[in-house]
Amino acid sequence: MPGSRPTLSSQLKSFYTGDAYTMYHGTSVQTARLIITNGFRQSPDGMLGPGVYVSRNQHKAQRYPLKAPPSDRVVLQLRVNTGRVKRIDKDNHPMQKSWNAAGYDTAWVPPNCGMQSVPSGLEEDCVFDPQRVVVTSIAKAPNPTILADAVTKTIKHYDETGSHEDRHRKGRPRDTSATEDKFIRVTSLRNCSPNKCFTEFK
């Protein structure tokens, strides 16, 4: 329909044409929820500079966050439109962190390239623009049901509103400040008997 807003489903279809790949991103449960709700944000820095760090190797993504226990690790499956790609295949590459300034959209570290900064030898990518990365599903999670529900709700919300932003909630208006609340509570405690206070404020 002319002038209608494209759905997230139709946007995903466009990622299957051209330089688009299925990739993975490992993160914590809390951060996974934020990514599903709000989309990716650039990491401020890293081995390849700022961007979104992903890999076509799921085992690579499963290592992250490095210091997190398995119960707090989630692997998001993605569809990534890589655009123009720069191969970074050696340590101290002259464009290791300046590839985007040279007109590239993604930096690619190929598997087993011998870089000491990638001791695992597993493939890694850095996508400069977060808009090129879309979450398509949950590849691995300690509680996949909850996260899968979050994905479904997010896609539905986007299709209905055209935005990942949460709806505005009016909430109950606040009549007193936090300082006034504290004063009221302290005054009440001072003016009541010990037994009564224990019952009301425990």
Total domains in the fold of the chain: 2
Residues 125-147: what's their mean pLDDT?
Answer: 85
φ, ψ at 40 (rounded to 5°): -80, 155
pLDDT, position 70: 87
* Phi then psi dihedrals of residue 77, to 5 deg: -90, 135
pLDDT at 187: 53
Are 151 and 181 members of one domain?
Answer: no
Residues 28 and 93 in one domain: yes
Task: Tell whether 182 and 134 lie within a shared domain.
Answer: no
- Whether 104 and 186 map to the same domain: the answer is no
| pLDDT at 139 > cutoff 70 | yes
pLDDT over threshold 80, residue 181: no
- C-alpha pair distances (Å), 202 with each of 125, 183, 188, 189, 198: 53, 17, 13, 11, 5
Lowest mean pLDDT across 23-27, 51-55, 156-160? 156-160
State the pLDDT confidence band at 78, using cuts at 50, 70 and 90.
very high
Confidence of residue 141 (pLDDT cuts 50, 70, 90): confident
- Do 195 and 153 belong to one domain? no
Reply yes or no on whether the pLDDT at 59 is more than 90: yes
- Give me the residues paired with residue 133 across strands: 80
Say if residue 18 is in the same domain as residue 113.
yes
Clarify whether residues 24 and 97 are in a common domain: yes
Distance CA 69, CA 60 (A): 16
Terminal CA-to-CA distance of the chain, rounded, Å?
60
Q: Give the pLDDT score at 10.
A: 46
R_g of the chain, CA atoms, integer Å: 24
Looking at per-residue pLDDT, the higher value among 196 and 40 belongs to 40
Residue located via tokens 């490992």: 26
Query: What band does 36 get if pLDDT is binned at 50, 70 and 90?
Result: confident
Q: Which domain holds residue 202?
A: 174-202
**Does residue 143 sit in the same domain as residue 193?**
no
Q: For residue 166, is it within any domain?
A: no
pLDDT of residue 38: 87
pLDDT at 173: 53
Is residue 88 one of the residues assigned to a domain? yes
Between CA 106 and CA 181 the distance in angstroms is 52
CA–CA separation, 190 and 182 (whole Å): 12
How crowded is residue 169: how many other Cβ atoms within 10 Å of its Cβ? 5
3-state SS, residue 54: strand
Residue 27 and residue 125 in one domain: yes
Please give the full DSSP string across 127-165, using - where no structure is assigned. Answer: ES-GGGEEEEEEEE-SSHHHHHHHHHHHHHHHHHHS--S
More confident residue, 163 or 29: 29
User: What pLDDT is attached to residue 5?
Assistant: 43
Statement to judge: residues 156 and 184 lie in one domain: no
pTM of the model: 0.66
Q: Which residues of 39-70 are buried (b: 16+ CB within 10 A; e: fewer)?
A: bbebeeeebbbebbbbbbbbebbbebeeebee
Reported as a pLDDT band with limits 50, 70 and 90, residue 176 is low
What's the token pair of residue 115?
């870089």
Mean pLDDT of the chain: 77
Average pLDDT over residues 190-195: 47
